[in-house]
Amino acid sequence: MARTSRQSHLSPEAMKAIRKRLGRNQRDFWSMFGVSQPLGSRFEKDITPSVPVAMLVWLRTQQKLSDHDLIDALAALGLSSSGPCARTDAALLAA
């Protein structure tokens, strides 16, 4: 798939490198952005994430958003308590 210059920093390799640099497995990393593990895996293999997801990843990696900010946003949307972040939420709040 050809990438435009706008998308070049969103390559699958870049997404995987960001996740690994933060020391997260796919489930924990992608759930922080409201993305399922299977879709996150696709972002790391062969598809470019949507602009909103890419923006959240960029904001997190630039330390403009914390893990708690992301958890709070998901909770405000009603996704945290029973969604994919429940395990991460509990672990971070215990820290």
CATH of the domain at 85: 1.10.260
pLDDT single digits (tens) 54-69: 999 989 989 999 989 9
| Token pair 């998308």: residue | 7
As to burial, measured by CB atoms within 10 angstroms (0-12 exposed, 13-18 middle, 19+ buried), residue 63 is exposed
Strand extents, DSSP E, 12-64: none
The pLDDT of residue 80: 62
Range of the domain at 48: 10-94
Asked if residue 1 belongs to a domain, the reply is no
| Phi then psi dihedrals of residue 55, to 5 deg | -65, -45
Asked if residue 69 belongs to a domain, the reply is yes
Asked if residue 5 belongs to a domain, the reply is no
pTM of the full structure: 0.72
Structural domains counted in the chain:
1
pLDDT single digits (tens) 3-44: 444 454 678 898 999 999 989 999 999 999 999 999 999 999
